[in-house]
Amino acid sequence: MKHKLSSKESSVRYYNLIEEMGKVNGNAVILNTSLNRRNEPMVCSPLDVLNMLYGSDLEYLVMEDILVTKQ
């Protein structure tokens, strides 16, 4: 039985995002969890997310239809 989050029928948009990430970098991995760094509170706003991104080793962030990259 497939997990709902990996089922194309349950979320075409999310499935397509994972599929495209695999094409771009060879790793079809999307981090979808409570977002925070160790010993810090969970992010609660777009500004919190950007501060967390730029203070971490993450390279990409997707918020809604926006792709944020560090370059």
**The amino acid at 61:** L
* pLDDT tens figures, 15-51: 888 888 889 888 887 766 678 888 888 889 989 999 9
pLDDT at position 1: 46
Would you place residue 68 in the very low, low, confident or very high pLDDT band (cuts 50, 70, 90)? very high
Q: How much is the pTM?
A: 0.53
Would you place residue 71 in the very low, low, confident or very high pLDDT band (cuts 50, 70, 90)? confident
pLDDT at position 25: 85
CA dist 53 and 49 (Å) reads 6
Which of 47-62 are b and which e, b meaning 16 or more Cβ less than 10 Å from the residue's Cβ?
Answer: eebeebbeeeeeeebe
